[in-house]
Amino acid sequence: MESKVKSKIYKYLFPVVIISAIIFAFRYCGKQDKHIGHPRDYDAIIKDGVLRVATEYNSISFYVDGDTVSGFNYELIQAFARDKGLKAEITPEMSFEERLKGLSEGRYDVIAYGILATSEFKDSLLLTSPIILNKQVLVQRKESEENDSLYIRNQLDLAGRTLHIVKGSPSILRIRNLGNEIGDTIYVKEIERYGPEQLISMVAHGDIDYLVCDESIAEAVIDSLPQIDIHTDISFTQFYSWAVSKQSPILLDSLNAWLDKFQKEKEYQEIYHKYYKQ
């Protein structure tokens, strides 16, 4: 019994250790200069020749496979940097709160990861034109029998349940609103140690019962975890954007002008179809 418990712990911790090592390497190898100061605008970035970017490490946004770096946001921001004659310095940062902090401190120029255009974020960030459509879904195990008490069939069944999310995730805002909509309490437990893919695996193996995350991430791993169910929507399908600091309006204009043009090109379609199911 003890060996099984240890096996489970290692299974979940190993990806986290690997991701932590990758983040450490990206941050500190190569003697990169990471001054903490004020956010930069486009002119200062062009003068420096380096665009500093934060994203999340997962199988959709940014990941390392052997000696190859891939990911939808990775390829998209690399294309922007290439077209503008810049070098993209990309840091995989698992914590949403740390990405926001790094942007405000000037360590990052862009958060190249989907951010929902809520009033809260519009007040504190500048959001680009929509990058992708996505929605938040409930990740749970498939119904084991007809009267499975754990299985959530609709949003009303969420009353009194505890949903897990990645610490700092914008999902918490939607869950709170959903609680108001159904007229009951939905409990939320924020997890700091793991990313969404590790938490999906924990749901699959019975360590936690419910997780809320982006549908695209859940779809990317569901083929390898057939016991998982992602058919209960938590939010409507909405546009997600990248973010820059309020002090970087020219950078925002440059990103938007480039996105408007690039999203009509064949290269964008190839990148999109590579990472997103139809």
Place of tokens 């999109």: 272
Single-letter amino acid code for the residue at 8:
K
State in words which class domain 33-133+239-275 has: alpha beta
Task: Give span(s): CATH 3.40.190.10, the chain.
Answer: 33-133+239-275, 136-233
Average pLDDT over residues 201-228: 94
pLDDT at 8: 41
Average pLDDT over residues 126-149: 92
122 vs 72, which has greater pLDDT? 72
Average pLDDT over residues 134-142: 96
Average pLDDT over residues 89-93: 94
Q: How confident is the model at residue 17 (pLDDT cuts 50, 70, 90)?
A: very low
Place of tokens 């290269």: 267
pLDDT at 35: 53
- Give backbone dihedrals phi and psi of 274, rounded to 5 degrees, phi first: -70, -30
Burial (CB < 10 A; 0-12, 13-18, 19+), residue 104, is middle
pLDDT at 223: 87
Average pLDDT over residues 110-129: 88
pLDDT tens for 187-214 read 999 998 888 999 999 999 999 999 999 9
Give the architecture-level CATH label for domain 136-233: 3-Layer(aba) Sandwich (3.40)
| Residue 171 predicted with pLDDT over 50 | yes
Q: How confident is the model at residue 123 (pLDDT cuts 50, 70, 90)?
A: confident
pLDDT at 16: 46
- pLDDT above 90: percentage of residues in the chain: 68
pLDDT at 36: 62
pLDDT at 100: 92
pLDDT tens for 32-87 read 445 567 899 999 999 999 999 999 998 899 999 888 999 999 999 999 999 999 99
